[in-house]
Amino acid sequence: MEIIMKTYMAKPSQEPEKRWLVIDAADQIVGRLAVQIANLLRGKHRPEFTHHHDTGEFVIVLNASKLRFTGKKINTKVYRWYTHYPGGLKSASAKDWLANHPDRIIREAVKRMMPKTPLARHQIIKLKIYAGTEHPHHAQKPVEFKV
As a whole number of angstroms, the distance between CA 26 and CA 18 comes to 25
- Residues in CB range of 28: below 8 A, 6 or more apart: 67, 68, 147
As a whole number of angstroms, the distance between CA 147 and CA 2 comes to 42
Percent of the chain exceeding pLDDT 90 equals: 82
As a whole number of angstroms, the distance between CA 29 and CA 55 comes to 26
- Which pLDDT tens digits describe the chain residue by residue (147 residues)? 678 878 878 887 877 889 999 999 999 999 999 999 999 999 999 988 888 889 999 999 999 999 999 999 999 999 999 999 999 999 999 999 999 999 999 999 999 999 999 999 999 999 999 999 999 999 999 999 998
As a whole number of angstroms, the distance between CA 87 and CA 64 comes to 31
- Encode pLDDT of 20-55 as tens digits: 999 999 999 999 999 999 999 999 999 888 888 899
Read off the DSSP letter of residue 54.
Answer: -
C-alpha gyration radius of the chain: 18
Domains assigned to the chain: 18-70+101-144 (3.90.1180.10)
Using alpha carbons, select from 18, 55, 25, 27 the residue that is nearest to residue 130. Answer: 25
pTM for the structure as a whole: 0.91
